[in-house]
Every structure is written in structure tokens, then in C-alpha cells.
Amino acid sequence: MTHPNFMRAPILSGRVLRVRTGVFGLIAATLIGTTPAAFGQSQPQPSARPAISVIRVPDENTLARLVWSTMVALDNANRTENYSVLNSLGTTAFKRRNSPAQLSNNFRDLRANRVDIGRAILSSPTYYIPPQITSQGHLRLRGGFDFRPNSIRFDLLYSLEDGGWRITAMSVVEMDANAPK
């Protein structure tokens, strides 16, 4: 059984996608199998990013820093209603697909419900699937911060761009801690 709020989470890949598969298929069914051409983008030039075979999953500290910095940026954006910094942390394609106004709209439920995403820095993220490099060369981090009674769940994609990991797509929701992972 899947939790309906998790399935309606915004996936910032240019549009909000709705999935009727299980929770574990959330991003895999919608983003991982999708090519850049499906979003109206041209294929990256061979020199645009390192070959996928040389991209490795970063160490545990780097992974946690990526998740924490994304959560803090989202929390600050929700508190100030200014999504320009969150937007600037994305890849070039992410910025083209998601204006600050679009990001504001995508995260309006978190903002309206006054979800404290910033509390995520108080604990280490738990990964529901092992961090991995997808076949498209994205770093995928799917997991949560298992607070009680409500946890914060995330599904994040990063790409190497300009010498660092940048947000490619993201989904963040608050849901009952007992909901299936």
C-alpha cells in the first residue's frame, strides 16, 4: 500500500508528475527512465560532464551534506517565500525548467502546512535505497528523516555540473512516520 501524499509529491523535472506505481517506483518510473529529450532538452555534449563510468557515489559525509544543504535551502525558501537561492542550486536545465515562482508553487503545501524542513539537520538521513549513480549519470538519494509522528521523505537527483553536485530533480514531503518507505 502506498501513501497518497508521497505519490503526489512534486518532482521538479519540468512538471509535476503523478505516478500510479508503488512508492519504490516513484522516481524510477518517472525520471530515471526518462531521457533529456523527453523534457525538450538536447542530449549533453560528450565533454559536458564526466563519462558515467567514472562518476562514483560520493562518501557518506558528502552525501549527508548534499541532503542537509538541500533541506536547509528548501526550508529557507519556504520561510522567506523566496525560491531564488534554491533555484540557483540547480543544474542549468533545472533552472530553465523551474523558475522561482514555479518552485514556490510546487512547494506550497509544505509552506502552507508550516512543515519544519530545517529540523532535518538535527539527524543523519536514512537512505531507503542505497545511494546510486543512475544510467543517466545522476546521483540519486532517496530516503528520509524518521521523526515522530511525521517524517520528512525525500527523493533527490543531482548531476555533476560546474565542478560540483547540483540539483537535477527533487521531491520532499512530510508524511506519517509509519507510512511505507
Per the domain annotation, does 42 fall within a domain?
Answer: no
CA 30 remoteness from chain centre: 13
Domain that holds residue 68: 4-33+59-176
Q: pTM of this prediction?
A: 0.69
Per the domain annotation, does 39 fall within a domain?
Answer: no
Quick one: pLDDT at residue 125? Answer: 92
Per the domain annotation, does 96 fall within a domain?
Answer: yes
Per the domain annotation, does 83 fall within a domain?
Answer: yes
Count of structural domains, the chain: 1
| Predicted confidence pLDDT, tens digits, the chain (181 residues) | 444 444 334 444 333 333 333 333 333 333 333 344 444 445 555 555 555 558 899 999 999 999 999 999 999 999 999 999 999 999 999 999 999 999 999 999 989 888 888 888 888 899 999 999 999 999 999 999 887 788 889 999 999 998 899 999 999 988 766 666 6
Per the domain annotation, does 141 fall within a domain?
Answer: yes
Per the domain annotation, does 54 fall within a domain?
Answer: no
Quick one: pLDDT at residue 177? Answer: 66
H helix or E strand, kind and range, residue 133: strand 132-133
Quick one: pLDDT at residue 150? Answer: 81
Q: In this structure, what C-alpha cell is assigned to residue 114?
A: 508550516
Per the domain annotation, does 146 fall within a domain?
Answer: yes
Quick one: pLDDT at residue 167? Answer: 97
Per the domain annotation, does 101 fall within a domain?
Answer: yes
